[in-house]
Amino acid sequence: MLLKNKNAVIYGGGGAIGGAIALAFAREGANIFLAGRTHAKLDKVAGEISALGGVVETALVDALDEESVEKHADEVAAKAGGIDIVLNAVGVFHVQGTPLADLSLKDFEYPVASYIRTNYITAKAAARHMKKKGTGVIQMLTTPVSRMPGPGFMGHSVACAGVEAMTRHLAGELGIDGIRVICLRSHMIPDVAALDSHSRDIFLRNAELAGVTLDEMFAGAASGTLLKRLPTLAEVANTAVFMASEYAGAMTGTVANLTSGFILD
């Protein structure tokens, strides 16, 4: 098992991506601490992990609130003996598809402030405990819009670019403490639309603006990749496992490109 006895905290653990990665971590032996804002979603993922024979706990945590995150991290570390892995898979519903002339400052700022804020808060809380052990892995998520020209997703683009910049900066600061910082950049994942209402609403909005159906939008996106297909949820989850494991022990400050060749690094 690649992550045997590792303590992994997953913020947004009730969502499609956070839940899939939590399950993948559990299969590889990690002890899972799911954090989120909805009991039902967390309990569903926890039930699936328990069915695998995994160790899992859930907690209601607002990952945009520093006090809530710090308190939870302290509780996990005290109970489990430390934190080895933290993943921020928090999703923030925001406006997409609105051109600059019609985009309010509030709608532009919201995803930027929210995604930067939550990743900063969760990374800081985890790093305090990882430093004590001299090891740890912090993982963040972004999308190809960090590198794409518009139109219609300025706030999301700036937010993702900011998270990727944070990955590099934190890697430079925390490397001396044995802490690796990794970003996973995935293209749109069709599986997620079927599992997560938040993501599905955004996908449907973008498809509507493009004047196509959801299936047509996915097909068009797939045709623009080198592999002529979009990534699967399992591929993203398995990459997260690899990046959190000692197999990727020499990797930090990098963005794992899971766009099927849509974006080249």
Q: Which pLDDT tens digit goes with each residue over 174-210? A: 999 999 999 999 999 998 887 776 677 778 877 887 7
Band (141; pLDDT cuts 50, 70, 90): very high
**For the residues of the chain, what is the DSSP string, one character each?**
-TTTT-EEEEETTTSHHHHHHHHHHHHTT-EEEEEES-HHHHHHHHHHHHHTT--EEEEE--TT-HHHHHHHHHHHHHHHT---EEEE--------S--GGG--HHHHHHHHHHHHHHHHHHHHHHHHHHHHHT-EEEEEEE-GGGS---SS-HHHHHHHHHHHHHHHHHHHHHGGGTEEEEEEEE---HHHHHH-HHHHHHHHHHHHHHTS-HHHHHHHHHHTSTTSSPPPHHHHHHHHHHHHSGGGTT--SEEEEESTTSS--
pLDDT at 206 (0 to 100): 75
In a domain, 208, yes or no: no
| Residue 38, pLDDT score | 92
What mean pLDDT is reported for the chain? Answer: 94
117-121 mean pLDDT: 98
The verdict on residue 201 lying in a domain is no
Examine residue 207 and state whether it is found in any structural domain, yes or no.
no
Q: How far apart are CA 216 and CA 198, in angstroms?
A: 19
Distance CA 100, CA 225 (A): 27
pTM (two decimals): 0.95
Domain membership of residue 198 (yes or no) is no
Does residue 51 register a pLDDT over 90?
Answer: yes
Q: Buried (b) or exposed (e) across 9-25, using 16+ Cβ within 10 A? A: bbbbbbbbbbbbbbbbb
100: in domain: yes
Residue ranges making up the domain that contains 31? 7-186+231-256
Q: Taking residues 237-260, what's their average pLDDT?
A: 98
The proportion of the chain whose per-residue pLDDT surpasses 70, expressed as a percent, equals: 99
Locus of tokens 């993501």 = 199
Whether 137 maps to a domain, the answer reads yes
CB 63 within 8 Å of CB 35: yes
The string of pLDDT tens digits covering residues 204-233 is: 877 887 789 989 999 999 999 999 999 999
- Please check the confidence at residue 26 and state whether its pLDDT lies above 80: yes
What's 173's domain CATH number?
Answer: 3.40.50.720
Q: Would residue 97 count as lying in a domain?
A: yes
Domain count along the chain:
1
pLDDT of residue 200: 78
How crowded is the C-beta side of 55, counted as CA atoms within 13 Å? 12
pLDDT score of 150: 80
CB neighbours of 223 closer than 8 A, spacing ≥ 6? Answer: none
- Does residue 112 fall inside a structural domain? yes
